[in-house]
Structure 1
Amino acid sequence: MLRTALTAAALFVAATPALAHFQLAYTPEVNLSTPGDVPMKFFFWHPMENGHAMDMGMPESLTVTFKGDVTDLTDTLAPITFHAAHNEAQGYEAAIPVKRNGDYIVAFTPAPYYEESEDIYIQQITKTILNKGGIPTGWNEPTGLPTEIVPLNKPTNVIAGSTFSGVLLSDGEPVAGAEIEIEYMAAAPDMETNSPTAPTVGPMPGGAVVAITDANGAFTFGIPRAGFWGFAALGSGPVTEHEGKELSQDAVLWIRAYDMESAATQ
């Protein structure tokens, strides 16, 4: 049964203080041609404005799904220090094993983060997709997370200037009338130094960029430029309390967009 827009609106009003926080699950190349261990960084940050980073506690889980088979990589996570523009914060890193051709859905569940200024917890359950060989094998399949965004466009090679669509799920059911916050990774992390590179754009005026899900839980956004784009549904998860305080359990998805190149430059 679809959640009503009224219920969703109540959830997102409660979650509003979490705006601009984005959990990263990042590696610079998501389209792979050779097998190997893909390094991935996990930072909790404000990537659009290259802003403040937040300390992360020990994550709850890291999994990768390939053709329906789930591999638990939680024990491989190692703590690292993220040198953000204005502060330092603890993050994590791991290597994602990629062998056969197809889609690898990486799902990262961080520990709830306590936002002292608002007296709430935030938990951004985050997905990103890697692909080897250009072979599609399930990028549009849900993974059974408490809340997640399921892409309706192949998320590893969206064309800049086109659109991207997704469906928001909570407990496996579409969420209608939900607000989707949209973030551009303006300062991608340097994998060697664990610090942000120079930002390529500044934050948009007027606050967060948002879309609203329709009656079927779907949303669409025009992708104006190449790079990594994040989509976050704040408070969409079924768990609403942690250690006696309000919890905003969010669904986050990262996608990769590219500019089309002329045949002469390919």
Structure 2
Amino acid sequence: MIPRKTALASLAAAALLAPVTASAHFQLSYTPEVNIARPGDVPVKLIFWHPFENGHVMDMGPPLDVYMVHRGERIDLMDSVTPITFQGANNSAAAFEVVAPVKRSGDYVLVTVPAPYYEESEDIYIQQITKAYLNRNQMPTDWMEPQGLPTEIVPLNKPTNVIVGSTFSGQVLSDGAPVAGAEVEIEFMASEPDMEANATTEPTAQPMPGGTVVAVTDANGVFTFGIPKAGFWGFAALGSGPATEHDGKELSQDAVIWVRAFDMQ
């Protein structure tokens, strides 16, 4: 994993791609189907993992907040938060699941605010404030709106049906203001969780030989990435949040977003 510092301001003029030498931590907010056909309760797994390489799973503490936004209304999900154990390829770790009631047509923005995680190898805390998206009946209502989080990535393309071969763009915000020169780690969910077994599955792709893929935001806080494969893609803006310290140590407050890409049939 790369050091969690924002990129040099001189790199902010354009969205760039560059390899780094290690894998990336990613907070997941996962359910396999994001376009919901029928009303009902949707199970969502909250896992802190390395899903591209099917790697180490980190222990999550109880999340500080979990909710969704539908038609501008906040729907609290904390009463449904349930601890689980997630089995990765090499270890198991504490994770959680929640139930998202998806009833009416429109977008559902899933927001997870995890407790800061202590990364011993870097002697820092990491907090990845994460957004994921569901939609019912193809009606757009909320996906393009910022949610007023300390830091977040606002999608500039509809996040529930990105076309493979097209691009995805997002704007990184901190306290509502664009973040120029932010490093954005890019992760493919090569190993999607088994919802019944709470365990990893066989990966469908391998990490790039150069390491984690990174984009850098431009002067308006915007990055763009070409989507090469169907599935879930995650983007994490490192250290983009206003909080920089937790429990006497450095805190990297990151903004994470997950989008779903499909092949055109």
Q: Give TM-score scaled by structure 2 length.
A: 0.92
Report the identity percentage.
67
Mapping of residues 29-178 of structure 1, within 5 Å = 29-178=33-182
* Structure-2 residue corresponding to 1:225: 229
Deviation, 1:54, is: 0.4
Q: Give TM-score scaled by structure 1 length.
A: 0.92
CA distance in 1, matches of 2:240, 2:11: 7
Deviation, 1:248, is: 0.5
Q: Please tell me whether the aligned partners of residues 21 and 211 of structure 2 are also in contact (alpha carbons under 8 angstroms).
A: no
Q: Please tell me whether the aligned partners of residues 21 and 212 of structure 2 are also in contact (alpha carbons under 8 angstroms).
A: no
Which consecutive aligned stretches of 4+ in structure 1 deviate over 3 angstroms post-superposition? 3-9, 16-19
Deviation, 1:208, is: 1.1
The residue identity in structure 1 corresponding to 2:163 is I
* Structure-1 residue corresponding to 2:16: none
SS at match of 2:30: coil
Deviation, 1:206, is: 1.1
Q: Please tell me whether the aligned partners of residues 133 and 259 of structure 2 are also in contact (alpha carbons under 8 angstroms).
A: yes
CA distance in 1, matches of 2:33, 2:224: 24
Aligned length: 253
The residue identity in structure 2 corresponding to 1:253 is I
- 2:25 is aligned with 1:21: yes
SS at match of 1:75: helix
Deviation, 1:33, is: 1.2
Q: Which has more helix, going by share of residues?
A: 1
Gaps of 5+ in 2: 1-5, 13-19
Deviation, 1:5, is: 5.5
Give the direction of change, closer, same or farther, for the CA distance of 1:68–1:17 in structure 2 (3 Å limit): farther
Deviates more, 1:85-94 or 1:66-75: 66-75
User: C-alpha root-mean-square deviation of aligned residues, in Å?
Assistant: 1.9
SS at match of 1:204: coil
SS at match of 2:170: strand
1:54-94, Cα deviation, whole Å (9 max, x unpaired):
00111100010011111111232110000000000000001
CA distance in 2, matches of 1:21, 1:202: 16
Mapping of residues 175-194 of structure 1, within 5 Å = 175-194=179-198
Q: Please tell me whether the aligned partners of residues 7 and 183 of structure 2 are also in contact (alpha carbons under 8 angstroms).
A: no
The residue identity in structure 1 corresponding to 2:258 is W
Deviation, 1:118, is: 1.4
CA distance in 2, matches of 1:96, 1:226: 24
CA distance in 2, matches of 1:65, 1:162: 27
Gaps of 5+ in 1: 10-15, 262-266
